[in-house]
Structure 1
Amino acid sequence: MRINLVSVFVDDQRAALAFYTDVLGFEKKHDIPLGEASWLTVVSPEAPDGPELLLEPAGHPAVKPYRDALGEDGIPLVQFAVDDVEAEHARLTALGVVFTQPPTDVGMVMMAVLDDTCGNLVQLVSPKSVA
């Protein structure tokens, strides 16, 4: 068993695609029209045949209260690994990304939380060097 696809609900698929590719640096994998929406996935350029992230329309009635509750509690919907959280924070801040939590040392990892502009909080993590 392996992880092949995970979803993140987004308010606007095209805006989400721009943010996740142009800002975060993912690459578009699939963009298949399905009526008003698309089967729209992105992948890491470091693993183009790896797990896909589905940018799924947030139209289902259960999505808004779920995401609102997570946001109010500051809970990220998804987590991405990066080599250096502080460097990514600097890079993304320069691009105008809003962080709800700056880089923070939480023991074994550094983490930060950003607003993906599509209705979600995203956590970035990187392992700390072991001296």
Structure 2
Amino acid sequence: MIKINIASVLVDDQAKAEAFYVDVLGFVKKHDVPAGGARWLTVANADGSGVELLLEPMRYDFAKTYQKALFDKGIPITSLGCDDIRAEYERLKARGVAFRSEPSTPSAGMPSMALFEDGCGNLLLLVESQAD
């Protein structure tokens, strides 16, 4: 069976991204290896579960265009899950995270969600896990 191993998020500054994803969001650095003038920099859930997130530097103009287009249209680059969105929203707001709105009210099978900025050119969607 094939599984998702690593997902990439384009970032405009790897050091700034590392500080945000580790110090603010609470992920742990898993790999940090020099790679052709940049770094192979991944973060993972603190408990070791899940997929690694590669904080990938934007080295090409088309990547910058793609990232900016998503950001300008309000489209998240990826989504992150949590058990209690209100608690995470309050925790992250207290740490200076820029949210586009408060968490939505769940409805018609859709979970509560909130869109926020990572400070590296991306929007991320925070989604509350639903009980099965």
TM range (shorter): over 0.9
Provide the secondary structure at the position in 2 that maps to 1:62.
helix
- Which region of structure 1 is more displaced relative to structure 2, 89-98 or 49-58? 49-58
Matching residue of 1:20: 21
Matching residue of 2:78: 78
TM-score, normalised to structure 1, is 0.92
Task: Report the alpha carbon displacement of residue 128 of structure 1 after superposing the two structures with TM.
Answer: 4.7
Structure ranking higher in strand proportion? 1
> What is the aligned residue count?
129
Matching residue of 1:56: 56
Matching residue of 1:36: 37
Cα gap change, 1:74 to 1:34, in 2 (>3 Å): same
Q: Separation in 1 of the partners of 2:5 and 2:131?
A: 29
Task: Report the alpha carbon displacement of residue 72 of structure 1 after superposing the two structures with TM.
Answer: 1.3
Provide the secondary structure at the position in 2 that maps to 1:105.
coil
Task: Report the alpha carbon displacement of residue 36 of structure 1 after superposing the two structures with TM.
Answer: 1.6
Gaps of 5+ in 2: none
Provide the secondary structure at the position in 1 that maps to 2:101.
strand
Task: Report the alpha carbon displacement of residue 116 of structure 1 after superposing the two structures with TM.
Answer: 0.1
Q: CA RMSD in A?
A: 1.5
Structure 1 moving runs of 4+ over 6 Å: none
Q: Separation in 1 of the partners of 2:93 and 2:21?
A: 15
Amino acid paired to 1:82: C
Gaps of 5+ in 1: none
Amino acid paired to 2:93: T
Q: Separation in 2 of the partners of 1:102 and 1:69?
A: 23
Task: Report the alpha carbon displacement of residue 73 of structure 1 after superposing the two structures with TM.
Answer: 1.1
* CA-to-aligned-CA distance 1:49-89 (integer Å, 9 cap, x gap): 53110000012111111111111110000100011111111
Q: Separation in 2 of the partners of 1:70 and 1:30?
A: 27
* CA-to-aligned-CA distance 1:95-118 (integer Å, 9 cap, x gap): 111001220124230000110001
